[in-house]
Amino acid sequence: MAKPIKKIAVTGGAGQIAYNLLFRIASGEMLGFDQPIALHILELPDAMKALEGVKMELEDCAFPLLKEIKIGSDPKEIFKGVHVALLVGAKPRGPGMERGDLLNDNGKIFVEQGRALNDVADPDVKVLVVGNPCNTNCLIAMSNAPRIPRKNFHAMTRLDQNRASYQLAEKSGNPVDSVTNVLIWGNHSSTQVPDFLNAKIKGKPAVEVIKDTQWLENDFINSVQKRGAAIIAARGKSSAASAANGAIDAIKAIFTPTKPGEWFSSGVYSAGNPYGIDENLFFSFPCRSKGDGTYEVIPNVPWNDFLKGKIKLTEKELIEERELVTNKLGVEKIHG
Ligand code: NAD
Ligand code: LMR
């Protein structure tokens, strides 16, 4: 018997990430090749004409799993009953900017969309925030959606994890699928901490395979932290195909059982976290899933002094971003 349809919302439907994302979702790559879906796509009124063109192209693919396409600019219409929401639509940064500089312009989008999800989405909707600065935007969305479990919100750090995996594979001369347990701690920003200490290559600690500590502590970390900026410098636009790929991997990770002994990175709500990180942030931690859309944060992944110092810096940055929106945009000060 055919599975019931899953409704998937994507915002920023006429943008460059969405153009690389919608077709892959519709083909079945994200939720499985036996899962019928409906796409609910949100855009600003000014971009509706372009979105109509995207809809025509989706139709012209004749995807067997794609049962319905709904487009519009009212989040309360588009988010009705959705089971998964990919919040992509937001301004991208330009050259010379940090992602946090977007908070003023983008933060308010997540107030409106958090409220709309709260009011009309499926009560167990899983939400992935891609629009930058994604960790703090995710905090804003969650804070405005008290009806939805906090554990259902994710800020995307999967692209960073994929970038780190590639760097370790290339440096060690091994295929990328021999690299496991790669992990990003903290913010999706230039303070993020790509963890080489716990990464493995062909099941062995990466630090035993790549013995070049200088490279691991400097070039590796810097290249992953600054990869987004390097792409903007090269392309004149921020990453789009790799970002869409990261979003698909991020959702797949919570709907696929995590292999024993492995983990994936996701920016998740830090309340009750086992690492002593401030309890009111979206922080990227090692996570595992049973494959039912839920996850748990894996405890006891060790830090050395080098990692600890860097993790404290990314935590500090997230606290500073939160301060900018506390008592605004629906984010309340949480005491204790
Ligand atoms: P884009 O400018 O090509 O597209 C964004 C689209 O969103 C536009 O079509 C715009 O009209 C739409 N939009 C803006 N506000 C909206 C709203 N309130 N509701 C619905 N749609 C809205 O940008 P892009 O390259 O697709 O990037 C989108 C966001 O994703 C940016 O903030 C970018 O920085 C971020 N991003 C995050 C990651 C990550 O790893 N987390 C990676 C890449 C890009
Ligand atoms: C990325 O990491 O590629 C995105 O967050 C876009 C950016 O601004 O770097």
pLDDT tens digits, 101-152: 999 899 999 999 999 999 999 999 999 999 999 999 999 999 999 999 999 9
Judge contact between 71 and 41, C-beta under 8 A: yes
pLDDT at 188 over 90: yes
**What pLDDT score was predicted for residue 225?**
98
pLDDT at 335 over 70: no
pLDDT at 218 over 70: yes
Tokens 């919570």 sit at which residue? 254
The residue contributing the CA closest to ligand 2 atom 1 is 228
Residues 186 and 276: their CA atoms lie apart, in Å, by 13
For 8-22, the DSSP string reads: EEEESTTSHHHHHHH
pTM of the model: 0.98
Q: Which long-range contacts (CB under 8 A, 24 or more apart) does 71-76 make?
A: 71/13, 71/41, 71/42, 71/43, 72/41, 72/42, 72/43, 72/48, 73/42, 73/43, 73/44, 73/45, 73/48, 75/11, 75/42, 75/112, 75/113, 75/116, 75/117, 76/116, 76/119, 76/120
**What pLDDT score was predicted for residue 336?**
38
Mutate to test the pocket of ligand 2, among 101, 132, 135, 223 (most ligand atoms within 8 A of CB): 132
Of the listed ligands, the closest to the CA of 155 is 1
Q: Are strands 126-129 and 153-155 parallel, antiparallel or unpaired?
A: parallel
The residue contributing the CA closest to ligand 2 atom 7 is 228
Please tell me what DSSP assigns to residue 176.
G
Q: Is the dihedral of CA 79, 321, 270, 240 positive or negative?
A: positive
**What pLDDT score was predicted for residue 100?**
86
**Catalytic site includes residue 83:** no
| Segment 1-30 mean pLDDT | 97
pLDDT at 322 over 70: yes
User: Residue 1's pLDDT band (boundaries 50, 70, 90)?
Assistant: confident
